[in-house]
Amino acid sequence: MVFQGSYTALITPMRNGAVDEDAFQRLVDWQIKEGTDGLVPVGTTGESPTLSHAEHHRVVELCIEAAAGRVPVVAGTGSNNTQEAITLTKHAAEAGADAALVVMPYYNKPTQEGMYQHFKAVQDATDLPIFIYNIPGRSVVDMKVDTMARLYELPNIAGVKDATADLARVSLQRHFMGPDFIQFSGEDATALALMAHGGHGCISVTANVAPALCAQFHDCCLARDFTGALTIQDKLMPLHAALFLEASPAPVKYAANVLGLCEAEIRLPLVEPMEWTRTHVREAMAHAGLIDSADVGRSEAAE
């Protein structure tokens, strides 16, 4: 299976404290129709830290069911508990996922050897392709290139979602692992540069609300049309920034609500974004052509 292009790090719609299954499956269907190349349920953007195990399993199953084989599904299965990560990955495989995204063990602060053994244990327990999710900003620890190279020698380690924003890392990883090591950006704002350095795509937050533009952007990048990609980047950059003015996924859930895709509801300890952030999100959405500029100044009362 080819893993490349625009993959959406899906939000998990909620209503009255529960997963909104209908809204989630409508979102999946809309994503595919808009040109999204792949789907990533229950990652950080999907609020995996505050989903129960039963909810986590259900969201993966709902995504696979709604996708119906039209695009790859890369299920988020990471944990700082190695056994839990193995259990989640096994479930994803049984449910029919095409790959798993496994985040760096957060909070525990493992050494490089600890990281290696964690990912080795997960990949040893499954036949699914495994993507390492390297995001030091949330996990505190950062996997070094030589550790990643060791892991790539194992049969099921397929690539990385790189959210380090260190663009030199992309070329170094390409040098040590070769061009077949799949490198997804985990940072919408730097995806253009990552693609120019030999990347394969982006696991995107912005694609939740701008799937067609994100897909077109990656089509340009994969065709090496970086002039065309830059034109789309200029449209999307304010939105990339606005969606991280507060802890994600609160702003992107708000943006999805503006588009009528789902409620903006989010679970504690995260809260819905402040009005200042909401205004900036609407301005960025208008800049990208997702809503009419007349909607930018509307009051919260009008919502």
- The string of DSSP letters for the chain reads ----EEEEE----EETTEE-HHHHHHHHHHHHHTT--EEETTSTTTTGGGS-HHHHHHHHHHHHHHHTTSS-BEEE---SSHHHHHHHHHHHHHHT-SEEEEE---SS---HHHHHHHHHHHHHT-SS-EEEEE-HHHHS----HHHHHHHHTSTTEEEEEE-S--HHHHHHHHHHH-TTSEEEES-GGGHHHHHHTT--EEEESGGGT-HHHHHHHHHHHHTT-HHHHHHHHHHHHHHHHHTTSSSTTHHHHHHHHHTTSS-----TTS-PPPHHHHHHHHHHHHHTTSS-GGGTT--GGG-
Residue 242 and residue 282: Cα distance in Å, rounded? 9
Q: Which residue has the tokens 């892991």?
A: 151
CB within 8 Å of 284: residues ≥ 6 apart: 238, 239, 241, 242, 243
Residue 133: active-site member: yes
Beta carbons of 29 and 205 less than 8 angstroms apart? no
Given 133, 152, 253, 254, the catalytic residue: 133
Catalytic position from the list 116, 152, 161, 254: 161
Tell me if the bond preceding 269 is cis, omega within 30° of 0: yes
Query: Which residue numbers are catalytic?
Result: 133, 161
